[in-house]
């Protein structure tokens, strides 16, 4: 039986991002993925939000994705566009990039980090005990791991085998989505419940609401033709589908993201409608929250209880995504009452304050983990400051490339003694003369120091003293 510190079931965006995070921490991790390669059948995510781009920038790989995607304003609530070009972030935009390209680029990075990926295999079950997990594979082999993480999608085998409940709401709407060719030039643009646009290679991508929720078979070209005729009065001579699939607005969330040595992330932990484009982004950010915590527990630096903070922090984020996507689906109705409501919401979101609040929510820039009372930075993402150090200018995000925590001292050099944590935390003396500004909140008081976790969130803020610093270091990075 092969042994690993962590087995990740599922090699999609969430699983691969988690694998990379663990690899950066020198954790022995293997990914088990049923697909033979990273090619995708059907439609998945169409792009990245600002916070996900920041997360990739924290690891020094954002440029790989930016080089292949199109930077643009992608945020929209129920199709009401929300511009974030005035947001205080280096990446005040989204990135149009199909998931197939995102996975390819991410897989190349994971390969560089030396993570083995067992493709063409599936996790079919497991048993766990006090010391580890025996993981069963589809080829009859078994793996032994300290921890198993289910990143295996909405129908997660791991979640079901763990007996974790998946409460939520059954679907109320069904959509057809396809990439096809057409003899006639279609009218591009939005329709109620969908739209038609150009895809890669000159083909056409179609998303349309379908009649009924129960379907006995996989969608066909005939189904798509009928849906087009119902909406536009013509099917534009549709032919040669690359793929056709269905999706619904089913909305569910795992009751717990952890059960013993088994954890869930991404779609295995939460499924929801695609409105707002938040699924892939939420999963990647799940992975970045979990990775460093799992690594520290495996290395023995932190107690097992640190893993409970993963559920405590990410479950509320997922719950909010579920609620806002359900609200967006409610605004896609075609009756006049829904139209009036949509017009009212559109008017509301044209105002500055509501626009900023909703856009920050969708883009992930307003995530706030509850770490107690204190400075507005506490529990929020650390801005990518242009620092000045004794060795010259330095972007803050470069300090996070190796996924190591940072104690940023903006006061008297050498003002903090963290000798017991010197092998775990990077102390950086620097100066910053610019404005401190956070999305939605606006300008905030400049701190004297900040303890920054590997995921880029602030765990402690100093305001002239080291009060609370040792407690924060112990809580997040282990006892001295």
pLDDT in tens, 115-163: 999 999 999 999 999 999 999 999 999 999 999 999 999 999 999 999 9
pLDDT at 41: 60
User: Model confidence at 263, in pLDDT bands (50, 70, 90)?
Assistant: very high
Query: Tokens 């990439």 — which residue?
Result: 179
Query: What's this model's pTM, rounded to 2 decimal places?
Result: 0.94
Q: How many CA atoms lie within 13 A of 377 on its CB side?
A: 24
Greatest C-alpha distance within the chain: 73
Tell me what the mean pLDDT of segment 182-209 comes to: 86
215 or 81, higher pLDDT:
81
| Beta strand pairing call for 80-81 and 47-48 | unpaired
User: Model confidence at 192, in pLDDT bands (50, 70, 90)?
Assistant: low
Beta-strand ranges (E) seen in 432-476 are 437-438, 442-443, 449-452, 458-462
What are the C-alpha distances in Å from 270 to residues 12, 118, 256, 278?
A: 15, 25, 10, 11
Query: Tokens 């079919």 — which residue?
Result: 124
- Given a cut of 80, whether residue 212 has pLDDT beyond it is no
Helices (H), 25-154: 50-58, 62-66, 99-112
pLDDT at 78: 92
Least confident of 62-71, 97-106, 186-195, 325-334: 186-195
User: Model confidence at 454, in pLDDT bands (50, 70, 90)?
Assistant: very high
Q: Report yes or no: 136 and 86 within 8 Å, Cβ to Cβ.
A: no
Tell me what the mean pLDDT of segment 238-246 comes to: 91
- By three-state DSSP, how is residue 363 classified? helix
Tell me what the mean pLDDT of segment 445-468 comes to: 96
- Given a cut of 70, whether residue 402 has pLDDT beyond it is yes
Q: Report yes or no: 263 and 150 within 8 Å, Cβ to Cβ.
A: yes
412 or 5, higher pLDDT:
5
- Given a cut of 90, whether residue 38 has pLDDT beyond it is no
State the Cα torsion 206-209-215-220 to the nearest 10°: -20
For 264-320, the pLDDT digits (tens) are 999 999 999 988 999 999 999 999 999 999 999 999 999 999 999 999 999 999 999
Q: Report yes or no: 28 and 5 within 8 Å, Cβ to Cβ.
A: yes
For 329-339, the pLDDT digits (tens) are 999 877 899 99
- By three-state DSSP, how is residue 147 classified? strand
- Given a cut of 70, whether residue 449 has pLDDT beyond it is yes
Least confident of 52-56, 106-110, 239-243, 267-271: 239-243
What are the C-alpha distances in Å from 478 to residues 333, 415, 424, 466, 470?
A: 51, 21, 9, 17, 10
Phi, psi at 32, each rounded to 5°? -110, 120
Paired tokens of 7: 């087995």
Percentage of residues in the chain with pLDDT exceeding 90? 84
- Given a cut of 90, whether residue 215 has pLDDT beyond it is no
Calculate the average pLDDT of the chain: 94
For 344-385, the pLDDT digits (tens) are 999 999 999 999 999 999 999 999 999 999 999 999 999 999
Phi, psi at 182, each rounded to 5°? -135, 140
User: Model confidence at 43, in pLDDT bands (50, 70, 90)?
Assistant: low
């Amino acid at each position: 039986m092969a042994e690993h510190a962590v087995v990740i079931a599922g090699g999609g965006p969430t699983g691969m991002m988690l694998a990379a995070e663990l690899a950066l921490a020198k954790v022995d991790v293997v990914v088990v993925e049923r697909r033979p390669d990273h090619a995708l059948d059907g439609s998945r995510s169409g792009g990245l939000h600002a916070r996900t781009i920041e997360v990739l920038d924290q690891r020094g790989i954002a440029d790989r994705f930016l080089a292949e995607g199109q930077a643009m304003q992608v945020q929209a609530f129920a199709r009401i566009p929300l511009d974030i070009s005035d947001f205080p972030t280096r990446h005040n935009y989204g990135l149009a990039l199909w998931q197939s390209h995102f996975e390819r680029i991410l897989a190349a990075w994971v390969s560089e980090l030396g993570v083995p990926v067992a493709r063409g295999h599936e996790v079919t079950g497991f048993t766990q005990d006090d010391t580890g997990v025996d993981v069963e594979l589809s080829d009859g082999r078994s793996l032994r791991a300290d921890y198993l993480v289910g990143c295996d999608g909405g129908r997660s085998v791991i979640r079901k085998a763990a007996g974790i409940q998946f409460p939520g709401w059954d679907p109320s709407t069904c959509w057809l989505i396809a990439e096809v060719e057409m003899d006639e030039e279609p009218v591009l643009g939005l329709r109620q419940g969908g739209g038609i646009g150009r895809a890669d290679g000159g083909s056409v991508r179609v998303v349309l609401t379908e009649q009924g929720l129960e379907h006995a078979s996989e969608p066909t070209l005939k189904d798509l033709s009928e849906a087009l005729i119902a909406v536009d009065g013509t099917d534009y001579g549709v032919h040669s589908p690359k793929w056709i699939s269905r999706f619904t607005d089913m909305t569910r969330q795992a009751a717990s993201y952890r059960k013993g040595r088994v954890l869930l992330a991404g779609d295995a932990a939460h499924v929801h409608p695609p409105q707002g484009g938040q699924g892939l982004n939420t999963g990647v950010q799940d992975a970045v929250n979990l990775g460093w915590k799992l690594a520290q527990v495996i290395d023995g630096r932190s107690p097992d209880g640190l893993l409970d903070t993963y559920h405590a922090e990410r479950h509320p984020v997922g719950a909010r995504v579920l609620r806002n996507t359900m609200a967006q689906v409610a605004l896609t109705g075609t009756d006049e009452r829904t139209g009036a409501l949509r017009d009212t919401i559109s008017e509301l979101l044209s105002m500055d304050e509501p626009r900023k609040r909703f856009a920050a929510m969708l883009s992930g820039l307003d995530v706030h983990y509850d770490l107690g009372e204190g400075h507005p930075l506490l529990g929020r993402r650390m801005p990518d400051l242009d620092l000045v150090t004794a060795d010259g200018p330095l972007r803050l995000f470069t300090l996070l490339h190796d996924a190591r925590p940072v104690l940023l001292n903006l006061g008297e050099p050498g003002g903090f003694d963290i000798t017991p944590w010197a092998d775990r935390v990077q102390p950086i003396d620097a100066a910053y003369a610019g404005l401190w500004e956070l999305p939605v909140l606006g300008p905030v008081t400049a701190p004297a120091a900040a303890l920054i976790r590997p995921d880029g969130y602030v765990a402690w803020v100093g305001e002239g003293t080291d009060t609370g610093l040792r407690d924060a270091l112990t809580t997040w990075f282990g006892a001295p």
